[in-house]
């Protein structure tokens, strides 16, 4: 999964989209001016790829919402509890946010947002109010409601950051966080969230953290067969898509150069790797990665999901509900 530098495709980006190893594009705020421009960019991306391709964005709400003007402003997921007077109201609000997210992005021909954040709120600088709550049960309750809204708009869900990024302070974009908790501690705080949602078949995809859990493995989770195969696939029984987090993040640097990062993430069990915000690194991956890889049967499940006919009415109702909190968000 690649990115784009501007609001229109560059010539070299069109060439990269044609590459047989390119399977997706993630969009950022720099790619957005208005809805007409965004639709034109997405149409160009799909034309240049000349085959089905996944288009995604980080559109969680709060400070991580790439498109703002012309889109409904979504609250940070960590603010939902404070906006609502009790948990049932918070669930209704979370579901409305999921529906709005799905409907507005799907209307632009974007396949999905990388959401929800399932990290249990703790000391993490980069997670903060992106997480729903400090208690695993509340995270499960509110994340389930958000996913229910996303699914009402036919949008796949991606739970991140497995097995949990909330208990380490450093930001993996600029540092390499090390979580020294025991497996028992991780199990009772973080993994319970992923287990419950997987058991309920609510996660279509998972994104691992660029965090080293030092008592269990020397590699960050996204490069770890222990976490992706032994724990996620075998122990938790997850059969959805595994996306790597962005390989340009500092937390990925432990795996070496960009080609080494890509090879290590795929070998560990990722179905698709994100190579963003560093065009030379993405080029190194496309030029050096073996093309003789078996066809991935999981990725096509995330594409080509049309907006249901009933969604427009539910979307309008969700917008009315969210507007009632105007001034508090």
Alpha carbon distance 260, 256 (integer Å): 6
Q: Which residue has the tokens 């790797």?
A: 273
Is 245 noted as a catalytic residue in this protein?
Answer: yes
- In terms of Cβ atoms closer than 10 Å to its own Cβ (0-12, 13-18, 19+), residue 233 is middle
Alpha carbon distance 307, 102 (integer Å): 9
Report DSSP letters for 6-23, one per residue: SSS--HHHHHHHHSTT--
Q: What are the structure tokens assigned to 205, written together?
A: 């995809």
Which one of the listed residues 173, 217, 250, 278 is annotated catalytic? 173
Which residues have C-beta within 8 Å of that of residue 138, sequence separation ≥ 6?
81, 87, 132
Please, are residues 225 and 191 in contact by the beta-carbon 8 Å criterion? no
Is 148 noted as a catalytic residue in this protein?
Answer: no
> Has 257 been labeled as part of a binding site?
no
Residue 320 has φ and ψ, to the nearest 5°, of -60, -45
In the chain, which ranges are E strands?
24-27, 54-57, 59-61, 64-65, 112-113, 158-162, 178-179, 205-208, 212-213, 241-246, 272-274
> Has 160 been labeled as part of a binding site?
yes
Please, are residues 263 and 256 in contact by the beta-carbon 8 Å criterion? no
Which one of the listed residues 119, 129, 179, 245 is annotated catalytic? 245
Alpha carbon distance 287, 259 (integer Å): 9
Rg (CA), the chain: 19
> Has 130 been labeled as part of a binding site?
yes
> Has 119 been labeled as part of a binding site?
no
Please, are residues 249 and 275 in contact by the beta-carbon 8 Å criterion? no
> Has 30 been labeled as part of a binding site?
no
- In terms of Cβ atoms closer than 10 Å to its own Cβ (0-12, 13-18, 19+), residue 182 is exposed
Binding-site annotation, residues for substrate: 58, 66, 130, 160-161
Binding-site annotation, residues: 58, 66, 130, 160-161
Q: Which residues are catalytic?
A: 173, 245
């Amino acid at each position: 999964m690649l990115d784009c530098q501007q609001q229109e495709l560059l010539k070299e980006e069109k060439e990269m989209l044609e590459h047989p190893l390119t399977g997706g594009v993630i969009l950022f705020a720099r790619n957005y001016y208005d809805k007409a421009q965004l639709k034109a960019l997405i149409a160009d991306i799909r034309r240049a790829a000349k085959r089905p391709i996944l288009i995604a964005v980080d559109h969680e709400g709060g400070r991580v919402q790439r498109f703002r003007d012309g889109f409904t402003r979504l609250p940070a997921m960590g603010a939902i509890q404070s906006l609502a007077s009790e948990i049932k109201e918070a669930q209704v609000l979370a579901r409305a946010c999921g529906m709005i997210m799905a409907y507005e992005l799907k209307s632009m021909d974007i396949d999905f947002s990388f959401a929800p954040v399932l990290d249990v709120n703790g000391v993490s600088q980069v997670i903060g109010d992106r997480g729903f709550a400090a208690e695993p049960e509340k995270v499960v309750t509110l994340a389930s409601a958000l996913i229910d809204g996303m699914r009402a708009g036919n949008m796949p869900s991606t739970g991140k950051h497995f097995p949990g990024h909330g208990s380490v302070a450093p930001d993996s974009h600029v540092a390499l966080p090390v979580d020294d908790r025991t497996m028992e501690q991780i199990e009772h705080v973080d993994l319970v969230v992923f287990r419950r949602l997987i058991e309920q078949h609510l996660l279509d995809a998972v994104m691992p953290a660029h965090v080293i859990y030092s008592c269990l493995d020397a590699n960050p989770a996204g490069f770890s067969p222990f976490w992706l195969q032994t724990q996620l696939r075998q122990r938790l029984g997850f059969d959805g898509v595994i996306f790597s987090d962005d390989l340009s993040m500092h937390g990925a640097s432990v795996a070496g150069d960009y080609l080494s990062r890509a090879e290590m993430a795929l070998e560990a069990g990722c179905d698709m790797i994100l190579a963003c915000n560093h065009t030379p690194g993405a080029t190194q991956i496309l030029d050096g990665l073996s093309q003789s890889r078996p066809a991935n049967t999981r990725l096509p499940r995330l594409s080509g999901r049309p907006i249901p006919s009933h969604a427009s009415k539910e979307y309008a109702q969700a917008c009315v509900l969210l507007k009632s909190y105007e001034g508090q968000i």
